[in-house]
Structure 1
């Protein structure tokens, strides 16, 4: 609620027709036609405002008039049913067959619209979200011929193996999934009678007389909430009654999404003069907003799923930092909540969980994730200039930064290692974010002095580069907060760390940065994205950057069809299709590499790599979703679709193109 009503104040004017005109270029950037059969994994959908439900279009092949797939639960991997609000339209006693209709379906940013046009009658249905628990489905029937009598029956289904259904007050269908406490209400307007029977629900209207040119409207209010939430959370108060006047809600959604797009393209990247790249940018925007989930149960602030496909239990720290860095460009308050949602569970020692859940007892404190929180806060600050947020986060960020040196520097030499609280290599690899990277194939776990302090037997160049960047960012924050002496000390410490990275972790002979073994500091000669991180943070000297650039641009190493994969193409353990962190291209790491090249004057190369990614990642230029990672040799999509940090880093790449 705190996001949506602000837009009413900030924006004015009629949105109805202008909404479609302004956004016509972004119609159907994503194909969201699906037919769920229980488990909703793989389903593409529309969700907004952090709501806990979503919808898709019913595929044309199903042959249904009107209606949408779902609704889908965003609190589990299940759909409520295959369809909702499917309309059986009877005109003068004759059922209108969908095969005789002209059908048009449009997924615009912030709105689904579909129309079914027969010879003298048109049925139009639209969906928008109005708050973090509620959406509206509006059906309008327009008579374009002579007088007629029309009766409509709206039908939906629910999976009885998961959901229980009943009718409340004659015109509200209540569906509950006891295993997840997730509940759905579908409320119809006056004149609709609800029935629930045998896994189906229906709303029947009276026979209505239509004159020439006359239009009638049926409104349905969908609510998804948890049965143990307070009433004011389940049903946020609406400023108007949608059954009496629906248009203000649809105009408000249009205005909000127009503002998002305007903010997105305040960036004057040369790429945005080309419609095909603007469509990718809007696809990123829509993906990130569909992954937005509002506070619920033990999630104390709003945040974002990595993807609503298979990640329906909570928020991951590394994903949250990266997603927030992009969302801050158009919705900084939401970006701040992404950060807060993880810091709500910061431990007394300063550690941030890898993952926080709607059910907090399954929060993951076996490991954390690489320290990019300060970077994310800086990105948000640069977007909106809110110093109060920097002040709010500073001490928390500093505690997190210092935690690394207390719990992840087993030999106390100022170079940190990835590790785990439970001493397992699995959790330590998770902590790196690169779960199965080749560089960890021969590492071991070592016990530190403090309780639950375990480290890998190698010091990682990416981790220490992130920590360098944190020192510099915290120094900037300290100056903004008038803590000059503290800023000077952080900068001094950062300089010492940068010298050690340059001297210990760079291989002069091979021209690349590598992880090193503890004590001996023997290099671990695996070429991966960790080796270009010192360029991203500005640690490398120019000669080192020149050598790293040469390896990045080598077509036999990293400059593949989709460039900047997670393992040197010549490595014998390369697995470009199923390797996860052993070859596929992850767009966060590709972004860090491209930004690193720009930091050292290699804008031509950075532009070349950016365009290869945008043009060669399968589906980016079409209506397919943005994926978790990509095959570097073919561009094939890999793993989870609708992936948040991929969307975030595509935007950052495009923003910085020059």
Structure 2
């Protein structure tokens, strides 16, 4: 297109936008536009090298086309419930417009393309018509594109959309009642696409091998000063045999989406960190919210409640994990409490008769991992939800389940019955026991042996400082819950048990010569003197004396150990096994452990030091304050992110850090 004509079209479109049509429809909070870069195009069905927009628990997501792509529409969908997740389409909702009087195509010039909280938006102009496409989720089943038209003159236009599926032998296109229906080999899932106005479904469908077209069956009448709207609806049904998809009210859906997201964003005013500009704190919090809600998946298949997966960017993480779930729920409590409650319920749906909660659960329960559990933070998460909501009914619902889970640890994981527990496994393997710790390859576990406690119950031969700190905190939290729901006798018993456990932790796991908490061997009683992040867990829980805490804090603030450029690595910098890039749990910074470190400092009155470490966690992690996704872990020496992008518990930890 000639540059002068293009500029004239852009000016005309901007004038139309200023008249109120498009701006009124989207109402974006400009501070949070493009918090994350959502542009990309898959090079293969399993390409996850860029960010994808999900919301409302949907199992299908979309992206903006690559920058410089002047075509209309969006990229997708990515269907997360197909195996480990795959792209079912490359192009979605591309517009085909024609002047009904002249029968000439209407070329559109893009003027902007954005990712905003809760939607993607693209805007286009021609000399006569301005168009906006807003992609959002009406609910977990329906992705909608609201296509808005404003004309500079009275005219009729013919409207069609084109979609391109991923060229793949695994899918098949058909048509049914004016919809395009896409099915997939080896899966019962169905993706259906329709085009309609606010009054009726309408469309003539044309199919090809790898693309489809749907045209409105009558022209759209445009009048200056009025907005005409057409909707594209793409619905994913996981299993038509059992699912009962919720309908989408396409006319009301956009307003409901805006109301829901306004609720989320309203909580941003409560995110703050001393010495950090509030705009920066809220930008990071907004990104963290978008990350968590982007990993939200609704109940489907054998997942009976909604929850949050660890990361859509990693094909290994297509389910709910227990340890992750507790952290997600604690962070969600302050802005999405309904999802927080369901996240906890989802894991306890699978609580065993003996009280155990499995490591992870999936759409197909045959893949659930019962070889181990995960560190006990469920009560902490439940109490966080109560503190945010005042919901005593949820406490009553969960109390007995939490008690059974807590008691299970001492029944199945206290080999010598001394009141301190060990990580372990149901199958006697060391690898499953390490998984149960959540710190799979931590140096402190390099020499463990397994001890049998009973049928299907094994322990490592060492008591862990973090595990027992979590269990101590659970007793305190169970006491608070019991008191809140009127179980005064239970509350007194929990406090009595907590006092005894606090003494045992100090006597057994604290090294007065080194001023740090360590794991302890069962048989030899020797301490496993590896300086790891587990050593400050007793401070996070309040299990240390003030004197012990002062010594631990000295270690935490030593730049040769844990006060690194990005602070609080999982292994001390001066350890010979320190491996900050490829070490996984042998040196990288994991944000949950770093958050616990900051909270530990605060609990014992080291507020200034806590603020300093927290600011470094925000400012020195590369990309956290800009557009980069939040990563699974980070290099403590450079701040570079590694492993899985869009990692939920990193996002949850930043929310907890800033709230």
Residue 299 (structure 2) pairs with residue 295 (structure 1): yes
Preserved contact between residue 55 and residue 294 of structure 2 (Cα < 8 Å): yes
Match of 1:4 in 2: none
Q: Secondary structure at the match of 1:125?
A: strand
Q: Any idea what the Cα deviations from partners look like across 1:316-366, whole Å, max 9, x if unmatched? A: 000111000011112222211111111111111110000011111111100
Cα gap change, 1:568 to 1:312, in 2 (>3 Å): closer
Residue 327 (structure 2) pairs with residue 322 (structure 1): yes
Tell me, in whole angstroms, the C-alpha distance in 2 between the residues paired with 1:208 and 1:378.
54
Q: CA deviation at 1:78?
A: 0.2
Bigger drift between 183-192 and 497-506 goes to: 183-192
Residue 198 (structure 2) pairs with residue 193 (structure 1): no
Tell me, in whole angstroms, the C-alpha distance in 2 between the residues paired with 1:421 and 1:46.
38
Match of 1:6 in 2: none
TM-score, scaled relative to structure 2: 0.91
Q: Any idea what the Cα deviations from partners look like across 1:38-59, whole Å, max 9, x if unmatched? A: 1142341111111111111011
Superposition pairs of residues 416-427 of structure 1, within 5 angstroms: 416-427=421-432
Q: CA deviation at 1:288?
A: 0.9
Match of 1:224 in 2: 236
1:361 is aligned, of 345, 353, 366, to 366
Q: CA deviation at 1:482?
A: 2.6
Q: Secondary structure at the match of 2:638?
A: coil
Preserved contact between residue 86 and residue 156 of structure 1 (Cα < 8 Å): no
Q: CA deviation at 1:287?
A: 0.9
Residue 400 (structure 2) pairs with residue 395 (structure 1): yes
TM-score, scaled relative to structure 1: 0.91
Q: CA deviation at 1:162?
A: 2.2
1:134 is aligned, of 129, 142, 145, to 142
Q: Secondary structure at the match of 1:82?
A: strand
Match of 1:29 in 2: 35
Match of 2:14 in 1: none
2:77 is aligned, of 34, 56, 71, to 71
Gaps of 5+ in 1: 1-14
Cα gap change, 1:93 to 1:575, in 2 (>3 Å): farther
Match of 1:371 in 2: 376
Tell me, in whole angstroms, the C-alpha distance in 2 between the residues paired with 1:19 and 1:255.
13
Q: Secondary structure at the match of 2:496?
A: helix
2:433 is aligned, of 423, 428, 435, to 428
Preserved contact between residue 142 and residue 214 of structure 1 (Cα < 8 Å): yes
Match of 1:7 in 2: none
Tell me, in whole angstroms, the C-alpha distance in 1 between the residues paired with 2:133 and 2:471.
52
Cα gap change, 1:484 to 1:83, in 2 (>3 Å): same
Tell me, in whole angstroms, the C-alpha distance in 2 between the residues paired with 1:34 and 1:577.
27
Q: Any idea what the Cα deviations from partners look like across 1:112-154, whole Å, max 9, x if unmatched? A: 1111223443221001211121121122233336857655443
Preserved contact between residue 41 and residue 77 of structure 1 (Cα < 8 Å): no
Q: Any idea what the Cα deviations from partners look like across 1:364-418, whole Å, max 9, x if unmatched? A: 1000000000000010010111111111111111111111111111111211110
Match of 2:512 in 1: 508
Bigger drift between 265-274 and 160-169 goes to: 265-274
Bigger drift between 24-33 and 156-165 goes to: 156-165
Provide the aligned length of Structure 1 versus Structure 2. 629
Preserved contact between residue 62 and residue 76 of structure 2 (Cα < 8 Å): yes
Tell me, in whole angstroms, the C-alpha distance in 2 between the residues paired with 1:307 and 1:425.
26
Tell me, in whole angstroms, the C-alpha distance in 1 between the residues paired with 2:207 and 2:28.
41
Q: Any idea what the Cα deviations from partners look like across 1:79-132, whole Å, max 9, x if unmatched? A: 11111112244455555666xx24301211111111122344322100121112
Tell me, in whole angstroms, the C-alpha distance in 1 between the residues paired with 2:98 and 2:270.
49
Q: CA deviation at 1:184?
A: 0.8
Match of 2:7 in 1: none
1:83 is aligned, of 83, 91, 99, to 91
Cα gap change, 1:271 to 1:90, in 2 (>3 Å): farther
Match of 2:10 in 1: none
Preserved contact between residue 271 and residue 277 of structure 1 (Cα < 8 Å): no
Residue 126 (structure 2) pairs with residue 118 (structure 1): yes
Tell me, in whole angstroms, the C-alpha distance in 2 between the residues paired with 1:97 and 1:553.
62
Bigger drift between 141-150 and 536-545 goes to: 141-150
Tell me, in whole angstroms, the C-alpha distance in 2 between the residues paired with 1:599 and 1:430.
28
Tell me, in whole angstroms, the C-alpha distance in 2 between the residues paired with 1:636 and 1:229.
46
Cα gap change, 1:620 to 1:267, in 2 (>3 Å): closer
Residue 645 (structure 2) pairs with residue 641 (structure 1): yes
